[in-house]
Each structure stands twice: as C-alpha cells, then as structure tokens.
Structure 1
Amino acid sequence: MTLLLALLLALPLLTGLVLVTGFPRAGGARVVAAGLVAAVVTAVLAAQLAAVVTRAPVAPTLVVPLLGEITFRYTVDGLGAVLAVTVTVIGALVLLAAAAEPRLREGRFVGSMLIFLAAMLGTVTAATLPALLAPWEVMGAASWVLIAFDRRDRVVGPAATRAFLTTRTADVGLYVATGAALAAGVPGLALGATAQAGEGWRSLIAAGLVVAALGKSAQLPFSPWLSSAMVGPSPVSALLHSATMVAAGAVLLIRVAPLLAATGWAAGVVAWVGALTAVVLGVIAATQRDLKQLLAASTCAQVGLMVLGAGVGATAGAAGLLVAHAAVKALLFLAAGGWLLVLRTRSLPVLRGAARRHPVVGVTFTVGAAALAGLPPLSIWWPKDAVLDGVPLGSPDLRGAGLLTVAGLLATAVAAVYATRAAWFVWRPTRSPSIRRGSDRPRRHVPLAITVALVVLAVPAAAVGGVGVLTGLVPRADVGELVTTGVVALFAVVATWALHTHPIRLRSSVLPRLASAARGWLGLEAATRAVVVRPVLALARALDRADGALGTALPRAAATVPRLARMLAERGERPLAAAVVGFGSSVRRLGDLARRPQTGQQHQYYAQGLVALGTLAALVAVLVVTGVR
C-alpha cells in the first residue's frame, strides 16, 4: 500500500514537471491526453487506496526520513481517502473541460494543473508539519502561475500578485507553528500530537495554524484575494474553488480540531470567524452582477460554514460539506466558463437567456445552484445541517453558541438568495438584440468536453451529501434542524425569485449605496492592497535597490584590494622588513659581546666575580649613604 500512496503523490507531480519543463509550449491532443491519463490514473489510485482504508485496520503510510524523529509522513486515513478521491475526480473532470479551450492545451497549463493537483493531494494526506509545509508552498506557487496564465492581459499580473502576496502573508503562520512545535518537542512534529504541547507553545502553534488556514481558505480578513483570483481561466477557478487551494485551510482546521479545543480560545475564534465570513461574504455574493465574482464570494461563505464546523467540533459535517461543495462549485464554475467561452461575458444581466439557449448547461447549472441554495434533499442540505446541529448550545466552553446557530441560519438564507439570483438571470428571457439576432458567436454550442464534465458533476452535486448520510460518513442531523433549514432555504428561494420578477422600487438611497459597497467587496480588496500588497512590494523594491547598490559597491571594493596590497608592500612591508633585519643584527652583536668573557680560564671567572661583587658593594654603599642624608 505504501507503493500505491507513493504513486498517488508522485504521478501527477512528475508528469506535471515533465510537461512544464520539457514541453511548455507544446500543444494539441498529445499534451491533453498525457494530462488526462495522469489525472485518471491518479483518481484510480485514490479509489484503490480508499477501498483499502475501508477494509484494512492500518492506514497506508509513506515515511521519508528528514532529521531523527522528524519525517515527511503521508497517511491515507478515512478523511484523507475521501478527500483524495474528491480531489482527483474533480481534477480529472476539470482537465477534461479545460481541453475545450485551445489556449489551454499547452504543456505549461496542463503541467501546472497537475502540479497543483499533486500539491493538494500532499496536503490532504500530510501527517506531520514538514510534510504539510512542502505541498503548501508548492500549491501557493502553482496557484500564482495558473491565475496569471494569460500574461497578455495587463490586469492579470497585478491581480495574481495580490492573491499570491495575501496568501503568502498568512502562510508565515505555518512556519511559526512549525517552529513552536519544534521548540515544544512535539513528537515527530505530527499534526495529531500538537495538542500535547505545553500550554504556551500550544497556543502559539494553534495561532500560527489558524492564521495560515484562514488565509488559504480566504476567510475574513483575507477574503479579497479570491476576488483577484477571478482573472484566471475558468477551469483554474473551478479547481481552485472546489477541491484544492480554498479547501486546504478548511482541511487543516478539521485535522487540528483537537488542538483548537485544547487551547480554550482557538476553537471559539475559528467558529466565529467562520460564521462571520459565511454571513458577510454571503451578502457580498448576493449583490454581485458578475457571475464569477458571485461564485467567488459564495465560496468564501460556504467555506466559512466548514470553518464553523471545525471550530465547534462538527468535523464530520464539515468534511461532508467540503466534499459536497467541491462537486457543486466545480459544476457552477465550469458552466460559467462554458458561457464565457461562447458568449464572451460574465455579466449576469447580459447572460439573461443563456440557460434557454444552452439547455444542457442551463439544467446542470440549475442543479448546482439549487444544491448551493441548500434546498432539500440535495447535497449541501445534509452536511450543512450536520454542522449547525453540532453547535453545542449552552456549552460553557463556547460563548454565544446560540448566536452562532442564528448566524448559520442567516447564512443559509443568504445562500439561497445568491444561488437563486444567479439562476434567475440565466433563465429569464433575453431582451438583448445582440443575443437574439446578433453575430453568430452566441449561436455556437458549448464544447462537448465541458458538457460531459457538467453532466458527470451534476450527479454528485445533487446526491453526494445524501450518500454521505446513508453511508454514515456524515452524521444525520436532527429532524427539526433539517426541516428548519429546508423551510428557510425554500422561503428564501421563492421570495428572491418573486422579488426579481416583480421588483419593488424603494425611494431610499441607503440600500443602493450598501449594495454598491457590497459589490466592491466592502472595500476589503483596497484595504488588503494598502495593508499587505503595497508595503510588501515597496520593501521588495527597496531590497532590490539595496541589492543593486551592493552589487555595484562590491566590485569597487574588490578593486581597491590590489591597490592597498601594493601600498602596503611599498610603504609598510619594506620598512618593517628592514626593522626586523636591524633588530636581528643587534641581537647578534649582543650575543657576540656576551661570548667574549667566556674564555674557559678559571682565574678570569674569579676576577669577573670579584668585579661583580665590588660593583654590587659600591651600589649598596651609595644607597646607604643616600638614605642617611
């Protein structure tokens, strides 16, 4: 089983490296086929490992020694098996859909997607902090490459840089946590053993991991980077928002839920951040007029519910929500990408009638939107209720648990609003002449590869949550909770559809201003640019200037060394050598003088002794006389 795990991690990574380094500009069917084969084989390996985990009492483990007890250890346990299957299946379908766009049939793109996929597989199976750090870093670098793939667009570079720098700032927390775990003597730096650290070190480890996870999963206050990431190709958005980077932070928090509970404060902080993100970003999503921006904000909101589940200890519900959301969000982003490819727009008002013109895409998109809205009995309804049911009401360890439940219900209602709003626009009859009678571009069909991926994804998007409950992977929520959230979601859907069909004109100017601010992500992106991006770039430019100045100064300093050597040779070395020679000559002369009295004749030695004694007596007499006076 160790070999299967090694192949699971190595196959997409090595294939991606070969494509990126050996065939970056190569395109066509061969590159696409190589990427698809690698992704499909990886999915098969993940399924085999999942089957092994369900039967074997010991989880397959791969250990690579590092320093003593510290190792790179990767393990496929129950959670890792489910997530590995989710990541690989969605990754293969996204690569299939990406093959529909000619500009994405390059070795550089396909290889980067495979490396991105391998990094997420390493993240979901990592059992030690060093094993987590390596794929965590690779994932950040690969995300920047993929978001900035279309380098001809001037907007892409700065947007990708904002996303990269925001997540990198939060990633510092992972290094802090690793250093604290090393100082605390956590056995093998294992994630599962972090709760055993001493009180002070335990809180520092938890703080670092929480910051890194919130940054990766675009939770408040790090949410705006996900808005910047929307400049990337739609398949990148589909993979990044569903089963890879944004989900990585939630996976980490689920893994270290015992550590969060052991600190006495981290669990509450995580729960409240998740609840606030679910509500605030849900409101932002409900006001968007750009379909990809709506889906991006909704990702932050849905991941917020997963983070809430990790904070309150409802880890099984959070994991089930992660899997269901992955299928739903991959479906929605690929549908949005199909329409963008055909209609050349992401604007919801311009997309009116898109579902009627492309019914297969429209139906599958509607399935995903209904699941995202939390309508029963579709996927997200089940695990989301398991998360809300896991909030420990009345627990002294979690203050304000009732308010967390209210926030969860409010997030449920807002989710129904933004999902219904997206569906309403794409199903309403078009009023635009350009779409009815314009150029032939809107008359093109959505490529078959995207259609196939959408049809396949529609099945888990609709049913994976219920399957999780039936198999016991997702705990069954209270019946009253299920009914309550179902009614709330259904009411919000009906009300939103009715208000969009028959809008109410309000004289107040406050709501339009609030909606405009929400469409701009409440200024969070500008704040992130001012607080994080600009200072980091300014520091980088200053260091670059210092490096340039140092690079100029060093050759000049090196050129002065020969001159100093010549000056020392002329003015210092020669006089010093002459002084040394003179001192040696003086010592030699003194030695010659010292040898003269040594003749070997005894009477001369007696005479020399008498002279010495006489001299000494005379000296004593002088001293005595001088003392008397």
Structure 2
Amino acid sequence: MSAPLWLLPALPLAGGAVLLLTGHRADRAAPTAGAVLAVATCALATVAARAGADATAPFLPGLPARLSVDGLSAPLAVTVAAVAALVLLAGRAGLGPSGSPARFTGLMLIFTGAMLTTVTAATLPVLLTGWEVMGATSWALIGHGWRDREATGAATTAFLTTRGCDLGLYVAAGAGLAGGAASLALDDLARTDEPWRSVTAAGVILAALGKSAQLPFSFWLSGAMRGPAPVSALLHSATMVAAGAYLLLRTGPLLAATGWGAELTAWAGAATALVLGLVAVAQRDLKQLLAASTCAQLGFMVLAAGVGATTGGTLQLLAHAAAKSLLFLLSGVWLSAYGTRLLPGLAGAARLPRALGPLFTTGALCLAGFPPLALWAAKDVLLAAALTRDPWLYATGLAGAALAAVYSTKALWYVWRPAPPAATAPPARPALLAPLTLLALACAALTPLALPPLRTALERTLDSGGRP
C-alpha cells in the first residue's frame, strides 16, 4: 500500500504543477483536466480509507517522513478529495474566475495535494511541508484576481497572519526534539518531557488557532472572501481553515497531557463560536455571514478537541465541509446572477430558479443544526462532553449553537422573500446543478453516520486509532 498512499497527495500536486508550468497553453484543457485529476484523487482516497495504509517516504530512508491513513485521517482524506472534486466540477461548469484557467486550476490542485499531505501526515516534518505549501497557495488563490488591490491586500493579510502563527509549529518541532521525540511522530508528542511538552503544545495551539481563524486571529477570514467563490468553497470548508481544528483533534493526547492545553483550547473554541456567531447574525453581506459562521462552526471543532470529543469534532468537520462548500458555491452563483452579495438584494434568489432554493435550504438547515441532520448530532456529542468538564463551557457552546440557528434562518428568510416584479431568473445549468446537488445530498447522507449504530462504530474506530 506504500505506493498508492504516497500517490494520493502526489497526484494533485504533480498535476497542478504541470498546469502551472504549461501556463496559458493549457487554458482550454485545464478545467476538464483538473476535474478528472480531482475525481481520480477522490477514488484513491476512498481506496486508501477502506484499506488503511501506512507508508514511509521512498526516497528519504531513515528520515521522519511518514504518511498514515487511520480512523481519524481516513474520513478527512475522503472529504477533502470529494469536496475538491465537486468544487472543480462546479468551476468547470462556469463558476470559475475569469482569466488564466490553467493557473487557477493548477493552484487548486496543489492546494488540495497540500491538504491531503497535512491530513495523512504521521510525523511533524511531513505535516509542516503540507502546511507551508497550503499557506503559500492560499495566498495565490485568495489574490487570484491580482489586479484587484483589495483582493491582493486580503490575501497578504491572510498569509501574514497565518504565517506568523505557523511559526508555532517550528517551535513545537524544536521542543519535541529537545523533549525526546526523536521521530517527531504526532502520536509521540504527548510523551515528551516537561517543560518541552508544554512548549510543544503551545506551538501547536498557536499554529492551529491561526490557521482555523479562531480568536484572536479571526479577522483574516473576513477579507479572504475577496477570493473567487470556488476558492471560498474549498479553503473555508474542508481544507485550510479545517486544518487547524484537525491538528488539534489529532494531537488531543498532547493537549490533555499538559494539564492546561486542553482547557485553553476548549475555551478558545467556545468563545469563537459565541463571538463570531454574534458577528454572523449582524451581517448583511451573504459571504461575510458565511465567513463569520465558518469561524463559529470551526470553534465547535476546537471545543471538541479541548474536551476530548473526537467523534463529535470529526462529525462536525465532515458535515460542515459539505454544507459550507454548498453555500459558498451558491453564493457565487447568485453573485454572478444578481451582481450583489447583500442579503436585501438577494430577495427571491431561492425562488429564481426554483432548483437552487431547495439546495440552499438543505445547506442552511444543516448549518443551523436542524435535527436530525449531522451538525445537530455532532454538537450534541461535543456539548455533552463539554458539560462534564465545565457547566460554563457547556453554556457558552450552547449559546453558540443557538446563534447558528439564528444566522442560518436569517439567510433563508432573505433569499426566500418574494422577488421584485422586474426580477428575471438566471439560467440553471445542468452541469452546475450536478455538483451542487451532490453536496446537498451529502448534507443529508451524513445524518446516519451521526446517529447510532453508525456513530457508535465511528467512535470505536476513532478511540482505538484503528483502521476504518
């Protein structure tokens, strides 16, 4: 299984590099080639997740470079690959940005490969490699329209903020070596000696909170909405911002071993869920509402990592990825059709054309935590764990969950209002409806996974660290 596992991140990385090097000569073929490569990557991720795999770098013998697909990384790898494939299919159907399709598609593939490297990394050096490539390509993707000064400014803000926090991983690596973790395996970091264990945990927490746009680093995500809709759909659902929450879930034993790391992480997540939930409720711009809600929903994943609710955090990550990628793509469709992101200007958008309304409603209900959809069950699991730790922590998380229902309902209320008399329906292209429909179906299909007996099986797999 070694070769297929290393092929999983290598396929999109290599394909993206070829498209970038080919440049404008590949513009015509790039959207189709990118979609094909993404679908192939999704198939590889599914095979690896079903079989389980562990591989060392074939050209780096003796170095701490290892990939692994286990109970935690397997569902995340499939989710990343699937969302990337559907987003690129939507881009091919006409939702992609204008200008240089080869550059855009190449960067999206490289970004996907970097996230897959991060998710499957079993050692800190490999994780750092994927983490850094992901940060660099996110800057290029957010600022894809490089003639737009506001977009390039937002990209630079995002890059500098996350890059500054990323230095924490270098501190963590140095502290891990000093503390006796010679292999720098992520599972070994909790067994390092003090005070190096606390320094390692501090570095990991700093990097994760910055990447996942948690307080006090949430500000960069708002500006990142200047990027094209497919970029927002990929970066802010299953990939970049989810990477920090995933890292905290992966290093949960390290956080618990410090005695303070778990509590700090839990409160950072709960505070973000509450404060950014309030920010989302106050928004009149659809993309800004979705951006603030991304920070808030990721706060629940961070909270789950802090209280040891790995099952709840994983379910939250999976369901949020499906719902948020769907909502961001639909916001891009409406921006192109109506020329505005302001909610009052989108009155009737869910009615014209009719096909888009049920899709948006599915994503918004999932985001709201409407029972029995997966985000409702995920929050139930992680908030139950929070209650056993601290009633105030539970109350803060519960208030954040209530706010999720408020800002989701607000978005639904505006887009379902009667359309102005002069409004005309934008065309609903079948090629675009297909990936959007699949994402909406995923929101519903994840529901059985969040309920017994499948949730019990998932919890058993995650707790044992075994193969899915």
- TM bucket normalised to smaller: over 0.9
In structure 1, what is the Cα distance between the partners aligned to 2:26 and 2:305? 43
Q: Residue 314 of structure 2 is aligned with which of 316, 319, 337?
A: 319
SS of residue matched to 2:371: coil
Residue 254 of structure 1, CA deviation: 0.4
Tell me which amino acid in the other structure corresponds to 1:327: A
In structure 1, what is the Cα distance between the partners aligned to 2:4 and 2:143? 33
SS of residue matched to 1:333: helix
Residue 61 of structure 1, CA deviation: 2.2
Corresponding position of 2:382: 387
Q: Check 1:392–1:356 CA distance in 2 against 1; reply closer, same or farther (3 A cut).
A: closer
Q: Compute the RMSD of aligned alpha carbons.
A: 1.6
In structure 1, what is the Cα distance between the partners aligned to 2:448 and 2:330? 23
Corresponding position of 1:625: none
Alignment gaps of 5+ in structure 1 = 54-58, 477-629
Q: Residue 440 of structure 2 is aligned with which of 451, 454, 458?
A: 458
SS of residue matched to 1:74: strand
SS of residue matched to 2:205: helix
1:416 equivalent to 2:405? Answer yes
Structure 1 stretches of 4+ with a deviation exceeding 6 A read: none
Residue 449 of structure 1, CA deviation: 3.0
Corresponding position of 1:63: 57
Residue 466 of structure 1, CA deviation: 2.6
Corresponding position of 2:81: 88
Corresponding position of 2:26: 26
Higher relative contact order (CA 8 A, sep 6+): 2
Q: Residue 422 of structure 2 is aligned with which of 431, 437, 451?
A: 437
1:75 equivalent to 2:75? Answer no
Residue 67 of structure 1, CA deviation: 8.2
Residue 446 of structure 1, CA deviation: 3.6
1:404 equivalent to 2:393? Answer yes
In structure 2, what is the Cα distance between the partners aligned to 1:203 and 1:67? 30
Corresponding position of 2:13: 13
SS of residue matched to 1:354: coil
Share of identical aligned residues, percent?
A: 54
In structure 2, what is the Cα distance between the partners aligned to 1:422 and 1:25? 41
Q: 8 Å contact 1:117–1:244 — kept in the other structure? A: yes
Residue 31 of structure 1, CA deviation: 1.2
1:337 equivalent to 2:332? Answer yes
> 1:58-457 maps to which residues of 2 (within 5 A)?
59-64=53-58, 68=62, 70-99=63-92, 100-101=94-95, 103=98, 106-391=101-386, 393=388, 398=389, 401-431=390-420, 436-437=421-422, 442-457=424-439
In structure 2, what is the Cα distance between the partners aligned to 1:185 and 1:389? 35
Tell me which amino acid in the other structure corresponds to 2:213: A
Q: Radius of gyration: which is bigger? A: 1
Q: 8 Å contact 1:128–1:191 — kept in the other structure? A: yes
In structure 2, what is the Cα distance between the partners aligned to 1:35 and 1:67? 32
In structure 2, what is the Cα distance between the partners aligned to 1:258 and 1:462? 32
Residue 21 of structure 1, CA deviation: 1.3
In structure 1, what is the Cα distance between the partners aligned to 2:54 and 2:128? 20
SS of residue matched to 1:331: helix
Q: Check 1:104–1:364 CA distance in 2 against 1; reply closer, same or farther (3 A cut).
A: farther
Q: 8 Å contact 2:66–2:122 — kept in the other structure? A: yes
Under a length normalisation based on structure 2, what TM-score does the superposition of the two structures give? 0.94
Q: Check 1:268–1:24 CA distance in 2 against 1; reply closer, same or farther (3 A cut).
A: farther
In structure 1, what is the Cα distance between the partners aligned to 2:115 and 2:19? 19
Tell me which amino acid in the other structure corresponds to 2:310: T
Residue 183 of structure 1, CA deviation: 1.6
In structure 1, what is the Cα distance between the partners aligned to 2:323 and 2:182? 39
Tell me which amino acid in the other structure corresponds to 1:79: L
In structure 2, what is the Cα distance between the partners aligned to 1:249 and 1:473? 25
Under a length normalisation based on structure 1, what TM-score does the superposition of the two structures give? 0.71
In structure 2, what is the Cα distance between the partners aligned to 1:104 and 1:248? 29
SS of residue matched to 1:176: helix
**Matched residue pairs, number?**
456
In structure 2, what is the Cα distance between the partners aligned to 1:135 and 1:310? 21
Q: 8 Å contact 1:371–1:380 — kept in the other structure? A: yes
Measured against aligned partners, the alpha-carbon deviations of 1:101-128 in whole angstroms (never above 9, x if no partner) come to 3626611000000000001000100111
Tell me which amino acid in the other structure corresponds to 2:155: A
